[in-house]
């Protein structure tokens, strides 16, 4: 009898785990390698049920000072359920080949505390699955560094913004608040 209870309990646990995985939006059913780490970022585990700003970054881009604004945006709304994910990319030839240098720019020079992935392709056939899904939902892939995709708690793109739109722009803030359900 006791063995049957244990087996039944394990079966329910497995079913519940599969149900939780099934509830994760397609956009988040990916992993990315974390910057300067052997760990990965499990997008479902870290971001499911949260609003998210995904931005393709580059350390040597003229828009790199936006890291500061992205960090301020993250700090302003993180307690309300906002996450920011930075994804360095060399698609526009402005990212270092050295992950340590990329990490120094993000973490030391700009004080970034939000998650950063290792350098990934973000456009075309080689784009990481996350960016393929973002481009499909938004109707456009990044045309340059620091494109910002605002995603709601259900994994749907609310809006996206070009490099020229600063993180404190009222339209971007309105999209973030919409994604948060405000």
Q: Please compute Rg for the chain using Cα positions.
A: 18
- Tell me if 51 sits within 8 A of 151, measured CB to CB: yes
Q: Annotated catalytic, 61?
A: yes
Other beta carbons within 10 angstroms of residue 182's beta carbon come to 10
Active-site residue, selected from the candidate residues 24, 44, 61, 106: 61
> Whole-angstrom Cα distance, residue 82 to residue 128?
22
Could you write out the three-class secondary structure of 137-155?
HHCCCCCCCCCEEEECCCC
Residue numbers annotated as active site: 61
């Amino acid at each position: 009898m006791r063995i049957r209870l244990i087996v039944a309990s394990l079966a329910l646990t497995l079913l519940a785990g599969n149900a939780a995985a099934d509830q994760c939006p397609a956009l988040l059913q990916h992993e990315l390698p974390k910057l300067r780490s052997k760990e990965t970022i499990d997008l479902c585990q870290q971001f499911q049920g949260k609003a998210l700003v995904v931005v393709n970054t580059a350390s040597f881009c003229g828009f790199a000072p936006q890291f500061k604004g992205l960090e301020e945006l993250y700090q302003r709304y993180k307690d309300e359920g906002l996450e920011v994910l930075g994804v360095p990319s060399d698609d526009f030839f402005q990212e270092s080949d050295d992950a340590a240098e990329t990490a120094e720019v993000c973490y030391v020079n700009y004080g970034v505390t939000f998650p950063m992935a290792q350098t990934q392709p973000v456009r075309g056939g080689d784009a990481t699955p996350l960016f393929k899904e973002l481009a499909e939902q938004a109707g456009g892939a990044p045309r340059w560094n620091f494109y910002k995709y605002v995603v709601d708690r259900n994994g749907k793109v609310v809006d996206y913004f070009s490099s020229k739109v600063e993180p404190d722009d009222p339209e971007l803030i309105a999209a973030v608040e919409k994604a948060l359900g405000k």
